Amino acid sequence: MDVVLFAVNEFKDNREVASASNLNPVSSLNTACLDDGMEVESAAYGEELRAAEQETRRLARSHYENFLVASVLLPARLRQPFYNLYAFCRTADDLADESASPQLALDRLAALQVNLDQTYQGQPANPLFLALSSTIRQFDLSKCLFDDLLDAFRQDQRKSRYSDFDELLDYCRRSANPVGRLVLQLGNCCDSQNGRLSDEICTGLQLANFWQDVARDYQIGRIYLPLDQMERFGVDESMVGQSATSPQLRQLLASECDRAEQYFRRGLPLAKTVPGWLAGDVKLFAHGGLETLAAIRKINFDVLSRRPTVSKLRQSWLLVRAMTRIL
């Protein structure tokens, strides 16, 4: 999603982001058991971990996204864990959206799932998971959240239409909400209330990205607009493939943008219940999503003629206000 971290455009198959260097087992790694309380005696482990973390930093900094911009608001001690988490999400998203075929994506995601399972068993197989394993242990990150993300990415290879909004929400529950809960776990503040509020913001971000990227998604065979709402507004699938947005589709998008906005409004109180250093990020994400909706409205919902975006100037304005705590 582009607003948070899930829409990647730079990756191409010929770069093989998820090939040998990231997914294939690296036999030279010291994969001594990393369970809590166990001493890692090999001096080589520290060198390998530093090299792995350098790679996740490189991967993270090579992409300009709000997820990474937000890292400047974090305490220095949390930036590396943030990068390690991002690197996993970035890699999984690349595999899901940029592989040459759905079957190849499924095969690669299956390999990623095996590596994740091995990591939680104390046997990280490559630099990406070596770096992630350190963060998992340090913050006791829940495996089910990573599993949910991978499950959503696999679903994208098999499911391209959603009958109603409840089906779409179930997808958001796994494609977006786990990211927010993982960030809360990094901040040691993932209780039930904060988790619920975070879910509201993350679902809003995912929905905003859907309505921003109707044309892009259609080009790869996906329609996230609920079919029952398409029928309600008189939108048929052929309209989604046009070069300009029909009045019916504009009305549908107006309704869906209003619905997405409510998710941000309900989630914004999260900024008052998390540690102060995290509140800026919460506001940045939520207001970034609201700005995306504003950009869609600004072009009168004609998302098929051009992709609505938030200008770099506006993004910088949001970041400065978040940093100065006046957002």
304, 242 contact by CB (below 8 A): yes
CA 247, CA 123: separation in Å to the nearest integer?
55
The yes/no answer on whether domain 160-327 falls in CATH 1.10.600.10 is yes
Can you give the pLDDT at residue 47? 87
Based on C-alpha coordinates, what's the Rg of the chain? 20
Instruction: Pull the structure tokens for residue 77.
Output: 């001690």
Instruction: Count other Cβ atoms within 10 Å, centred on residue 216.
Output: 16
Count Cα atoms within 13 angstroms, Cβ side, for 82: 23
Q: What does residue 144 show for φ and ψ, rounded to 5 degrees?
A: -60, -30
Rounded CA separation 92/180 (Å): 16
- The topology under which CATH files domain 1-158 is Farnesyl Diphosphate Synthase (1.10.600)
Identical fold, 1-158 and 160-327: yes
- Residues of the chain predicted below pLDDT 50: 1-34, 36-38, 40-41
299, burial (CB in 10 Å: exposed 0-12, middle 13-18, buried 19+):
middle
How many C-beta atoms lie closer than 10 Å to residue 143's C-beta?
Answer: 12
Q: pLDDT tens across 178-219, in order?
A: 999 999 999 999 999 999 999 999 999 999 999 999 999 999
Output the pLDDT for position 317: 82
Q: What integer pLDDT is reported at residue 64 of this predicted model?
A: 52
Give residue 4's pLDDT.
Answer: 40
Domain borders along the chain are 1-158, 160-327
Q: Give the per-residue pLDDT at 247.
A: 98
pLDDT of 32 reads 40
d(CA 314, CA 316): 5
- pLDDT tens string 39-62: 544 667 788 899 999 989 888 877
Does an H or E element contain 195, and which?
helix 192-212
Contact between residue 222 and residue 286 where contact means Cβ atoms under 8 Å apart = no
Burial class (CB in 10 A: 0-12, 13-18, 19+), 10: exposed
Rounded Cα distance, 199 and 203, in Å: 6
